[in-house]
Structure 1
Amino acid sequence: MQLNKFIDHTNLKPTATPGDIKKLCSEAIAHQFYAICINSCYVKLAYEELKTSEIKLAAVVGFPLGAMDMNSKVFEAEQCIANGADEIDMVINIGQLKAGNIELVENEIALIKKAIGRKILKVIIETCYLSEEEKIAACECALRAKANFVKTSTGFGTSGASFDDVKLMKSVVKEELQIKASGGIKDTETAEKYIKMGVARLGTSSGISIIQ
């Protein structure tokens, strides 16, 4: 199993400096990870670092709370693509989902997908804050809005990915959407188990230790 090809090598820390992002890019190239995942302010910088490589560039939108104004999220996604991002990892509006405003949540995902066109959209549902019914509803929103992935977590919530959540998400999206497990994935055994469950991508800042 080529674990490196499943990994989004990630640095989303609020303290990440331009130097940290350059280091992330050079590590991704050295270990041939699938992608890097970074905050939107560093997309231009990372694009320059990666442009001669095959590494994909994923940027987060509405991160990490998901509570930004809808138009602001759409604009951020558009800016990321304009600056060279290949993929967008967006956080849903968690509070609106919990309030039962399903149409609003779905519409926001659909607007961002429309804004980025053929680029990949991953929808972070932040499972740690959701009931089972809400997790199902969030996955159904991503399905109807024609996203490409559902993603477990930001890594900034009260907990990250779990095997139970991935199993539940898989039961909803089946083969129609891919799944990204993210948050708390730090060792090879855990990474391999997620992949065997059908996870297509792993978001982790521990990619180097996982593959070594």
Structure 2
Amino acid sequence: MPISPDQSLAPYIDHTVLRPDTTQALVAQLCQEAAEHHFAAVCVPPCFVKQAVAALQDTGVQVATVVGFPLGYQLAKVKFFEAHQALAEGATEIDVVMNIAAFKSGRHEEVMSELQELSTLCHFKNSILKVIIETALLSPSEMVQVCKLCIEAEVDYVKTSTGFAASGAQVEDILLLRATLPAHIKIKASGGIKTKEAALALVKAGADRIGTSSGVSLL
């Protein structure tokens, strides 16, 4: 649903810090800002999940972390362990990078099997699974194929980007994903979203979440 003039972007935002030089102090600031502005979630490195969970207790802000990040070609059992550990430490949302290398090699059943295992785990733990497909590395027809795998695996979100590829969220990609996915599978736009205008355009195109490290300035 597009945002009306009297609505805020805040409920759409996954306030994010995933830099390799992320510190405890940065995570503390991120959580404070997320609670203050009532963002949907924070997305933090796995080693800071416990800190974020403690900081955001009783705020309504969800804690997301990444799995198989940022390249996605870890073995499925490694990703499963990562996700299991993050959920055990209190994360409620898992953003996993799809195995793009396997997909590009035509090993689609392997990709779907991995996503199904992670989906089952997350749903057993009453948590959300977002699948990062790295749209910058996919053609439109490949995006449609990936969406079909995500539908069959019963994931909760398809997410555009890690922020580590050549480009991030694009309006045309969101439009294609929204046209391909059923309504119950949501879309997270991420990667390079620095302005309010860009965020609003992505929401208008069909994004349900905005992953950004610029959450406060977007408001």
Regarding TM over 0.5, the answer is yes
- CA distance in 2 between counterparts of 1:193 and 1:161 reads 11
* Number of matched pairs: 211
Q: Could you tell me whether the CA contact under 8 Å between 2:131 and 2:158 is conserved in 1?
A: yes
Q: Helix, strand or coil for the counterpart of 2:54?
A: helix
State which of 32, 56, 61 in structure 2 corresponds to 1:55.
Answer: 61
Question: Corresponding residue for 1:92?
Answer: 98
Q: Helix, strand or coil for the counterpart of 1:140?
A: helix
- CA distance in 2 between counterparts of 1:51 and 1:199 reads 27
State which of 63, 68, 71 in structure 2 corresponds to 1:65.
Answer: 71
State which of 97, 107, 126 in structure 2 corresponds to 1:101.
Answer: 107
Question: Corresponding residue for 2:3?
Answer: none
> Structure 1 residue 76 and structure 2 residue 55: aligned?
no
Q: Helix, strand or coil for the counterpart of 2:86?
A: helix
Residue type at the aligned position of 2:24: P
Q: Helix, strand or coil for the counterpart of 2:114?
A: helix
Q: Which digits, 9 at most, give the CA deviation of each residue in 1:105-142, with x for residues without a partner?
A: 11111111112223111000001111222111111111
- Displacement, 1:32? 1.2
- Displacement, 1:103? 0.6
Structure 1 residue runs without a partner (length 5+): none
Runs (4+) off by over 2 Å: none
- Displacement, 1:18? 1.1
- CA distance in 1 between counterparts of 2:16 and 2:154 reads 25
Residue type at the aligned position of 1:29: A
Question: Corresponding residue for 1:129?
Answer: 137
Question: Corresponding residue for 1:188?
Answer: 196
Q: Which digits, 9 at most, give the CA deviation of each residue in 1:71-115, with x for residues without a partner?
A: 010011011111001100000000111111111111111111112
Give the share of equivalent positions with the same residue, in percent. 44
Residue type at the aligned position of 2:76: M
- Pairing 1:1-212 to 2, within 5 Å after superposition: 1-117=7-123, 118-211=126-219
Q: Could you tell me whether the CA contact under 8 Å between 1:188 and 1:210 is conserved in 2?
A: yes
Residue type at the aligned position of 1:122: K
